[in-house]
Structure 1
């Protein structure tokens, strides 16, 4: 049943003429829809959350919000709410001329009576079995004295480099992003959708050295053009390495709330040696939606 719900939700983008508004309502009587969600973060000025109910296979907006304090209650057309089968939450531009849900859907769940239990599993991805590893190395310069200043998501324990990340395929509207958190400052290693390939900034990074793009996996050398307050080259031992899941388009230059993998680099970590990651602080967002 959940698989059918997710497939239906992901297909909503094809209903270009199906999004209902108040002018389409057959009754002016409204009922309450109450959201009680856990794990959402504020999106900033350029984006908002928008709720949707699925009525006869089509999305009907239940309203937008920016605050992540819950519970929150919205007035929704009673007849539509009564027959709604599913609730979906999306991330939308704050100024939005498109009446349909954006591709970036973050929560979904089917109604069972008055209650819908919603979560990000499936509608974003399920990270229950996600694993990761990385090495410390700086392959993009000719200096072998600063190898602790780069992180690459690969596994070389067999003697040959293979992908270090076992991650599920994300749905449309999402990307992975690697991070090194130095003295509380997150610095991106780049975004990617396929962990077996180089990330999106492989050829455009301003941090790498001048000896090449590096191995064909996500990762980064922190060698030059350091952000304000940071010095490159650096020593990543003691820093936190994170893999987050980001909206695309992204709402912020900092990591999003979904962080399925994270690891503090050991103080005695050896360079060029595979290091296993652990479970991140947030791998699922969930909550409940009640109609009455």
Structure 2
């Protein structure tokens, strides 16, 4: 079967790997070493791909346990295809019923330099950015409670109101296909989503359907959430976000889990002394970005 698709900024031809099962085909090993990946739960797996000569072929699938250990690090592959590869790309794929071509969720990539290479999120065939220019501001407020000034510490909105007029509070690069941003409030150790978004100057996907917001519809046109009702099991709303943690994560699309994904470029522990309606600054968390090497 032949299938055309867009991969990064280049178009490649997907080739069937059925001939690799022929005992007469020469095989060689590809070894990978990756730090910072997480368990994807049973429905998804990681899959490597060899890119070269306008072609892309699978380089094997693996899972990761709760300790970040890969289930397999050495893969026996067609020697000619391995030697022809100019780059390696790692994607997230459905574990069952998967399309034979790579998904849009490219998490790591790197070029071969001789017989080895370094893979990271910065490569143009992955997320294409190191997120070093990321920055975030937010306020504690509950604008969807009909104007009441009660429980203002029970909502978080990613905006900057320091000039008296709400402005965009997030500086984040545009994500490639296969990824979305998501805001989180960690309440008593439990992460609760504030909603997914691509644009930082618009309301997030939860704006119209959130079960947590109040009965007023006057939320700002920026990502954020009020935690006023319908609390998840184990939590009580309204709450107090002070002493908790606010997070911006980068999530695969489709999402593999209801919990935050491993990519968390912005994080902030809300001070117990935080004042509502006053701008708070987030911190970069770039140590959470995975990276690795590959050798043939």
TM range (shorter): over 0.9
Measured after TM superposition, the shift of residue 129 of structure 1 is 1.0
| Residue in structure 2 matching 1:242, options 247, 262, 266 | 247
CA distance in structure 1 between the aligned counterparts of 2:291 and 2:218, rounded to whole angstroms: 39
3-state SS of the aligned residue for 2:200? coil
| 2:164 matches 1:168 | no
Match of 1:69 in 2: 69
Measured after TM superposition, the shift of residue 280 of structure 1 is 2.2
| Residue in structure 1 matching 2:153, options 148, 152, 156 | 148
3-state SS of the aligned residue for 1:112? coil
CA distance in structure 2 between the aligned counterparts of 1:32 and 1:159, rounded to whole angstroms: 61
Map Cα deviations across residues 106-164 of structure 1 (whole Å, 9 max, x no partner). 00000001111000114213211100010000000122111000000000111111110
Q: Mapping of 1:1-292 within 5 angstroms?
A: 9-11=7-9, 14-15=11-12, 17-23=13-19, 28-67=25-64, 68-70=68-70, 72-122=73-123, 123-124=126-127, 125-142=129-146, 143-280=148-285, 282-291=287-296
Match of 2:3 in 1: none
Runs of 5+ unmatched residues, structure 2: 1-5
Measured after TM superposition, the shift of residue 63 of structure 1 is 1.2
CA distance in structure 2 between the aligned counterparts of 1:163 and 1:40, rounded to whole angstroms: 31
**1:183–1:281: structure 2 CA closer, same or farther, 3 Å change rule?**
farther
Count of residues in correspondence between the two structures: 282
Measured after TM superposition, the shift of residue 213 of structure 1 is 4.7
TM-score in terms of structure 1 length: 0.92
CA distance in structure 1 between the aligned counterparts of 2:190 and 2:218, rounded to whole angstroms: 24
Measured after TM superposition, the shift of residue 281 of structure 1 is 5.8
Map Cα deviations across residues 67-99 of structure 1 (whole Å, 9 max, x no partner). 341471011111111111000000011113411
Residues 151 and 221, structure 1, Cα contact 8 Å, conserved in 2: yes
Measured after TM superposition, the shift of residue 20 of structure 1 is 3.4
Map Cα deviations across residues 25-51 of structure 1 (whole Å, 9 max, x no partner). 896111111110011001011111000
Bigger drift between 143-152 and 27-36 goes to 27-36
Measured after TM superposition, the shift of residue 283 of structure 1 is 4.7
Residues 20 and 77, structure 2, Cα contact 8 Å, conserved in 1: no
Measured after TM superposition, the shift of residue 24 of structure 1 is 6.6
Runs of 5+ unmatched residues, structure 1: 1-7
- Superposed CA RMSD: 1.7
Residues 20 and 61, structure 1, Cα contact 8 Å, conserved in 2: no
3-state SS of the aligned residue for 1:81? helix
Measured after TM superposition, the shift of residue 266 of structure 1 is 0.8
TM-score in terms of structure 2 length: 0.91
CA distance in structure 2 between the aligned counterparts of 1:208 and 1:168, rounded to whole angstroms: 28
CA distance in structure 2 between the aligned counterparts of 1:239 and 1:282, rounded to whole angstroms: 20
**1:57–1:283: structure 2 CA closer, same or farther, 3 Å change rule?**
farther
